[in-house]
Amino acid sequence: MDSDYINLKEFINRNSDKKVVAIQGLGFVGAVMSLVCANALTEEYAVIGVDLPSEKSLKRINEFNDGLFPLVADDPKIEIFFQNSRSKGNFYATADPVAFEFADVVIVDVNLDVDKSNSEDLSLNNFNINLDNFRNAISTLGIFCKSNALIIVETTVPPGTCENVVKPILLEEFSKRNLDSKSLKIGHSYERVMPGPEYIDSIRNYPRVYSGIDENSATETEKFLKTIIDTSLCDLTRLNSTTASEMAKVLENSYRAANIAFAVEWSRFAEEAGVNLWEIVDAIRVRKTHSNLMFPNIGVGGYCLTKDPLLASWARKNFFDQSEDLFMSVDSVSINDQMPMFAYKRLRSVFGDLKDKRIAFFGVSYRGDVGDTRFTPVRGLYELVSLDSKETIIHDPFVDFWEELDLQVFDSAERIFEFNPEILIFSTAHSIYKQENFVDKILNLKPLSIFDSVGLFNECQIQNLSTRHRISIIGRGDIS
């Protein structure tokens, strides 16, 4: 850590003419937020990414400092922004919390997980939110940060967290250091980061909601956001309290999770009734009031929609002394969590027993064109199928190793086809799978079964594939 501190001091000295922005947490949000801040629109910042000294985080930190951006996504702006920050020498990654001593602005991007012990019965308190790691992260800021630093919480948190957790912890640590509590500035501005082709733009060119624990905090948050967000393309919306902006984030994601769960439920009905839910949804979407009705799919994945409705329900009971869950929001998570099981049952009902079958999965990421396997719905389906099948093999152009399952993932389609699979399961909507040359390769295979769990193929491709292979698609009871 001593050599790290020396390098940190050298970085600060080289950038002594710049304000310092520290990003606490270098995951899928913090890593890209670091690049956006290092390429700010109206200000030249020195940006320090700070993460924990775990083996995984240290590997990521070393990759950053060695000139390798550690996350995979199909957005060319990432490499452009990263190389630009390296040429300017205004970004440095470290595990040393002393970095917060230099920060004028700190952006909190630490993970806040939900433990779901029973996804089929979430409404009966079978989930838990442990704030210990988050509290420790905020305590670290209180121990090291300057008294006049602006601290912006970007992590998605239960509504009421800034007032009930962040502020008390910082006031306590300030008191220990005999710092003026009146100088404390806390803002909240939630991210809408979308890993994929528009990774950078989902931060820089997308509307922002923000707030502060007081008027000064909100105003300072606004001033900072205007230096990194292109307000000529999108709006900044100030809400009256941090609790309001915290609620806005989880309500936003709860709405989408419920919308997806709604489609999940109806996809099963459509399969039972022998109709095509895709064309039904298309017919309904012509109404402007229904234009965001979701299509069928394998269910929700990723870090947000799988947990955010639960944050809201937890906050209602723990911060606001209510006894009941937000039942509709909680139930939507439960329905989505069960979708891999529904997909598995559909797979077996159409194609029969999977025993002694060689099965290939195409895609393990939770969404198309990203390398993000966190809480991917593919995991549940894969685990069920692999218990039945003779052998499975996995392809994904953005993932070479499935960390959560300790599995090798291949990026060569030819390697998968050489495996001579009897069933192809398309489980992530990567663009490459939709390309005509890829579909042609499938057409040239000997007759097999295809299970499309994400609505990957268009009608023409479905018709062509059906001339040689047997195909089933989630939400389509009219074909099998």
DSSP assignment letter at 6: H
Can you give the pLDDT at residue 2? 59
| CA torsion through residues 259, 262, 266, 267, sign | positive
Nearest to 471 by CA among 442, 431, 441: 442
Across the range 273-302, mean pLDDT stands at 92
Question: Tokens at residue 239, please?
Answer: 């809400």
Is pLDDT of 168 > 50?
yes
Q: How many helices (H) and strands (E) does the chain have?
A: 19, 17
Can you give the pLDDT at residue 232? 95
Can you give the pLDDT at residue 119? 52
Can you give the pLDDT at residue 123? 47
| Distance from chain centroid for Cα 43 | 28
* C-beta atoms surrounding 318 within 10 Å: 14
Is pLDDT of 209 > 80?
yes
Q: Where are the domains of the chain?
A: 2-240, 338-473
**Can you spell out the DSSP letters for 143-179?**
HHS-TT-EEEE-S---TTHIIIIIHHHHHHHHHHTT-
Question: Tokens at residue 460, please?
Answer: 């023409």
Across the range 468-474, mean pLDDT stands at 97
Across the range 232-242, mean pLDDT stands at 97
DSSP-H helix ranges across 229-307 = 242-273, 277-284
Quote the Cα angle for 209-215-218, to 5°: 30
Q: Provide the CATH number for the domain formed by 338-473 in this structure.
A: 3.40.50.720
Confidence band for 124, pLDDT divided at 50, 70 and 90: very low
Task: Name the E strands within 27-116.
Answer: 45-50, 91-94, 105-108, 114-116
Can you give the pLDDT at residue 125? 54
* Fold that domain 2-240 belongs to in CATH: Rossmann fold (3.40.50)
Beta-bridged to residue 218, according to DSSP, are none
- Between 280-289, 305-314, 383-392, 444-453, the lowest mean confidence (pLDDT) is in 305-314
Can you give the pLDDT at residue 76? 92
Is pLDDT of 116 > 90?
no
Q: Tell me if residue 391 falls in helix, strand or coil.
A: strand
The answer to whether residues 35 and 78 touch, using CB atoms and an 8 Å cutoff, is: yes
Question: Tokens at residue 165, please?
Answer: 């957790």
Is pLDDT of 71 > 90?
no
Can you give the pLDDT at residue 121? 54
Residues with Cβ within 8 Å of residue 351, at least 6 apart in sequence = 423, 449, 451, 470, 472
pLDDT digits (tens, 9 = 90+) for 14-23: 999 999 999 9
DSSP assignment letter at 371: -
Is pLDDT of 3 > 80?
no
Can you give the pLDDT at residue 172? 97
Q: Tell me if residue 51 falls in helix, strand or coil.
A: coil
Question: Tokens at residue 194, please?
Answer: 């979308």
Query: What is the Cα–Cα distance from 127 to 417, expressed in whole angstroms?
Result: 41
Can you give the pLDDT at residue 356? 87
The answer to whether residues 376 and 453 touch, using CB atoms and an 8 Å cutoff, is: no
Nearest to 107 by CA among 44, 171, 47: 47
Nearest to 210 by CA among 182, 246, 184: 246
Does residue 348 come out as left (phi exceeding 0), alpha (psi in the -120 to 50 range) or beta?
A: alpha
Average pLDDT of the chain, as a whole number: 93
Confidence band for 118, pLDDT divided at 50, 70 and 90: low
Query: What is the Cα–Cα distance from 243 to 447, expressed in whole angstroms?
Result: 57
| CA torsion through residues 357, 444, 438, 298, sign | negative
Confidence band for 370, pLDDT divided at 50, 70 and 90: confident
Query: What is the Cα–Cα distance from 146 to 291, expressed in whole angstroms?
Result: 48
Question: Tokens at residue 384, please?
Answer: 């069920």
Can you give the pLDDT at residue 293? 94
As a residue count, the chain comes to: 480
Across the range 136-159, mean pLDDT stands at 97
Q: Which residue has the tokens 């984030």?
A: 249
Using only C-alpha atoms, what is the Rg of the chain? 24
343 burial (CB, 10 Å; 0-12 / 13-18 / 19+) is buried
The model carries a pTM of 0.89
Across the range 317-330, mean pLDDT stands at 91
Query: What is the Cα–Cα distance from 76 to 91, expressed in whole angstroms?
Result: 19
Quote the Cα angle for 268-272-274, to 5°: 115
Query: What is the Cα–Cα distance from 358 to 312, expressed in whole angstroms?
Result: 43
Is pLDDT of 101 > 60?
yes
* C-beta atoms surrounding 106 within 10 Å: 24
Confidence band for 191, pLDDT divided at 50, 70 and 90: very high
How many CA atoms are closer than 13 Å to the CA of 379, on its beta-carbon side?
Answer: 17
Can you give the pLDDT at residue 375? 87
Is pLDDT of 120 > 70?
no
Strand order in the sheet with 449-452: 391-395, 358-362, 423-426, 449-452, 470-473
Across the range 431-439, mean pLDDT stands at 95
